[in-house]
Structure 1
């Protein structure tokens, strides 16, 4: 049995991993799908003060309170930003960090630093015009960016997206690189289609020694191809 902690990206919640969780549990693994502060069913706790440090504490606290060891930590999209700080805080509890279409930031960088200029501009404008200057509001445009094309899935996901604190996109991270590199690291690249905003993250991760896996689906891979995602993760548990 392997313990997995599956962490969602911006505007999502633990619910996004349900299909993958069920398959991993059916295979005998232990699976946690925490929801980050201010997201999903924890929307009631959303404030402008929530930042990257808040979400690092969320995951570090889960690892400690549940006394988890030899964990495969899977970070989707925005959650990739948490990798370095969580490794610094909890590397002794981790066997592997997986960026599943995740953003990879080096110490001193923030999320917007590793996104293309036009993407960063899009989010800044969205926050200024519709997010009261401090949160990213859910938008149907985002479903298109994430390659969610099935109308039934669009309705399901769209209804569950929650505002996301913009501070999480602008907070720079700081971490001891050696702690991150002490853990096995894997990058899962989604290829149909690729998300241009992830290009720099992928290149940097591979240059730093991340193993490279691919999945032929879009950005919300755990929803559009849960079976393959579960199989890739189970494969990591066996090697």
Structure 2
């Protein structure tokens, strides 16, 4: 049996893993799916100070307080940029990292550095116009961008999306790549649709020889294809 730490992406919370968590737990695994500061049920903690370092601390502290070892870290979307700093802080507690349609950055880059320029410009404009200069406003229309097609799923997930701290998009991510390099890594591609802004991250994973897997669904794999997601995570854990 394996220990999993499931980390959500932008505007989400631990709630998005509900079905995947239940499937893995029912099969005997231990699963933690926290909500990062300012997200999900912690939305009331959104402040101008919340940034990448805050979320790295969220995860490193959880690993320490729970005294977890041999952990399978699973990162969705935005959370991919946390991999390097978390591995640097807590690499001895980790066995593998699965990147579910996740963004990758090199040391010193920020999230907007690896987004297409037109997307970065649009986000900056939205933050300035409707986010008080400090957060990207949550909007259910993002679900269409992410390929969530089921009307019932959209109706359930849309109201749960939360404003996203802008610093998490602009903070440079500093880390020693060595601890992350030492872990087994899998990058999971979604295909219905594949988001073009993830192409640089996929290409980087391939160039480094990481294992590449595919789930035929949209970006929110844990919502659209929970059984396939859970099975993939178990398969990866079985090999490491």
Q: What TM-score range do you get, normalising by the shorter chain? A: over 0.9
SS at match of 2:12: coil
TM-superposed CA distance for 1:148, in Å, is: 1.1
Q: Aligned residue for 2:226?
A: 226
Q: Aligned residue for 1:83?
A: 83
Q: Aligned residue for 1:133?
A: 133
Which stretches of structure 1, 4 residues or longer, exceed 6 Å deviation after superposition? none
Deviation string, structure 1 residues 103-137 (Cα, Å, up to 9, x no partner) = 00010100000111111111111111110111000
Question: How many Å separate the matches in 2 of 1:181 and 1:31?
Answer: 24
Q: Aligned residue for 2:168?
A: 168
Contact 2:99 2:186 in 1 (8 A): yes
Q: Aligned residue for 1:177?
A: 177
* 2:61 counterpart of 1:71: no
Contact 1:100 1:187 in 2 (8 A): yes
Deviation string, structure 1 residues 156-209 (Cα, Å, up to 9, x no partner) = 111000111000000011111111101111101111110111110110112122
Q: Could you say what the CA RMSD is over the residues aligned between the two structures, in angstroms?
A: 0.7
Contact 1:36 1:55 in 2 (8 A): yes
Q: State the TM-score, normalizing by the size of structure 2.
A: 0.98
SS at match of 1:162: coil
Question: How many Å separate the matches in 1 of 2:214 and 2:61?
Answer: 31
**Across the two proteins, how many residue pairs are aligned to each other?**
239
Question: How many Å separate the matches in 2 of 1:193 and 1:42?
Answer: 30
Question: How many Å separate the matches in 2 of 1:172 and 1:210?
Answer: 23
The answer for unaligned runs of 5 or more in structure 1 is none
Question: How many Å separate the matches in 2 of 1:88 and 1:10?
Answer: 22
TM-superposed CA distance for 1:141, in Å, is: 2.7
Q: Aligned residue for 1:96?
A: 96
SS at match of 1:140: coil
Deviation string, structure 1 residues 15-47 (Cα, Å, up to 9, x no partner) = 000100011111110000011001000011110
Q: Aligned residue for 1:236?
A: 236
The answer for unaligned runs of 5 or more in structure 2 is none
